[in-house]
Each structure stands twice: as structure tokens, then as C-alpha cells.
Amino acid sequence: MNNSKITRFITSDGSARLIFADTGEIVNTAHMHHLTTPTATAVLGRALTAASLMGCLMKNPTDSLTFQLKGDGPGGTVTCVSDYSGNVRGYMDNPAVDLPLKPNGKLDVSGAVGQGYICIVRDLGAGEPYVGMSELVSGEIAEDVTAYFANSEQTPSACALGVLVDRDYSCRVAGGFILQLLPGADDAIIDKLEANMTVINSVTEIMNKGYGAERFAQLVFDGIEYEEFDTIDISFKCTCSKEKYEKGLISLGKDEIQAMLDDGEDVETVCRFCKNKYVFSLDELKDILDKTAK
């Protein structure tokens, strides 16, 4: 499968921008890390795609964005974290959620997500992180992202997301886009964009025919002059390390670490995002205890 990538377009008059993500490889990596069922692959895959797209809207290289779906459905909470370049990692509480297909033959994403909230946290490095919340309107995720932009950020946007799961449960294609109006957008362009958007029924149907970013730009910006801004490679990228988990152990305090030593067994931690295992031997725990004592 091709590397995942994001391509950004802008109308020549600066009325609107389109950010398209091809995330098949990212979603397939998530499927392999978390052994997701097809329903869960669709939920987590759409969320990862949305988080990656929203990450790309941030301004500074050190910014990070946490995208959370807090629904009451059997899939549980879905958490994705992305960076300024669109690299993303994520997990969901119940990757084994398995629901019957909907009457239209599609995976039941809204059934797995349920009702609740979408919560976006932007950590801009300095000061308190910016937190935005919006009620889930459908649980299909794309509509929820669109509603979030309207309610919480007052930015007129349209979002489309899709994940197509293959017969062997791997991800066949995945992707999506965010279309955003920029300040002072031209009314005639807005009308054209609205009309053009009605033509795009299914992201995965178009992608499964082998089309990518350029095709979506042609469809969304039909009759409008536009330019391709840039293309960037993105991946499922975790930031975990043994050092981070060591810091976590130190923060537990002396008594906790002593209790672990008293248990007399290695301590094993597993990253929630990428399932990487980190083992601390008793000798390493003693060293950590010494560091904590200082």
C-alpha cells in the first residue's frame, strides 16, 4: 500500500482551502496494532483521518492536537493525537466492537460511537491548552467534525471521511478531506462549492477506483480556479519511549516503586497507542528508586 499523505489546495482567490488525506496505510497500521474488527477499523480509521487533517490546520511545528470521541456506544471512547505535520496515533476503548452491517450495507460507525461529545484539545506548548467541545450530531464522525467547526470554532467547514475494509479485514482504502471557507470568501464561490459538494457521495467509492487528492480537488473546485499548495507524507507515528515510561514510574513516588520491588517481578507496561511493550527489570527498578529518592 502507498504511504499515507496529505495534499493541500487553495482557490486562486483565497476563498477556500481543501485538505485531503489518503490514510489507508495509517488505518491499516492501526488495524494491525489494535486487532480491530471491521466496525472498529471504520471508527478508529475515520477518527485518525479527521485528527490528521485537523493537525495540519495548526500553526506551529510543536503544536499537538488530541481528538476524542466520547460516546456511549459499545466502541467506547476513541482517542487520537496528531501533530502539526499530520502524523497521528490513536486507540479506542473497545477495538473488538462488532456490530451487524446497517441496512444500506455500511459498517455501523454511529452505532459503535453512540451519543455524546467530540472533544478537541490543542496543546500549543505555552499556557493552558485550548479545549473545544461539541455534541455529536450523528456519530458518523464527518458530520460531527463539521458541526464542531461550526459550533466551537465558528469556521464554516465541510468534512468527509471514509474507510473501506477488505475481505481479509485489512484496510482497502481510507481517506477524507476538510473544506474550509477563509475570511472574506466570495459568495459566488461559496454557492459553487455547495453545489459541488453534493456530487461527492462517498469518499471510498472514488478512492477505490484509484483516484486520489487531485480528483477530489477537481470535484470540489469544479468551475473554480485553484492551486495545489503542497503534499506531505504522514504516518501512524507514536511518541512513546522507555524514557517516558521511566519518568512515569518516577512520578508514582518512592512508596509505589518500593511496592513493585517487593513484588519481586519485572514490571511490564504497554503503550495504549501502539501496543509497544516496555519491561523494567528489578535492577532497573532499583535504579529508578534511587533517582526518585534524590
Q: Which residues bind Zn ion (CB under 5 A)?
A: 238, 240, 271, 273-274, 276
Of 147 and 271, the one with the shorter C-beta distance to Zn ion is 271
The minimum distance between CB 77 and Zn ion, in angstroms, equals 18
Q: List beta partners, residue 130.
A: 122
In the complex, minimum distance from the CB of residue 272 to Zn ion, in angstroms, rounded to a whole number: 8
The CB-of-1 to Zn ion minimum distance in angstroms stands at 21
Residue 55 CB, nearest distance to Zn ion (Å)? 17
Q: Give 73's contacts (C-beta < 8 A, 6+ positions apart).
A: 97, 110, 111, 112, 113, 114, 115, 139
Cβ count within 10 A of residue 217:
21
Which of residues 69 and 271 has its CB atom nearest to Zn ion in the complex? 271
Which one, 148 or 278, has the nearer CB to Zn ion?
A: 278
Instruction: Find residue 196's DSSP bridge partners.
Output: none
In the complex, what is the shortest distance from the CB of residue 276 to Zn ion, in angstroms, rounded to a whole number?
Answer: 5
For Zn ion, give the closer residue by CB, 58 or 271.
Answer: 271
Crossing angle of the two packed helices 242-252 and 254-263, in degrees rounded to 10? 110
| 3-state secondary structure string across 160-207 | EEEEEECCCCCEEEEEEEEEEECCCCCHHHHHHHHHHHCCCCCHHHHH
| Pick 20 or 236: Cβ nearer Zn ion | 236
Angle, alpha carbons 274-72-237 (nearest 5°) = 15
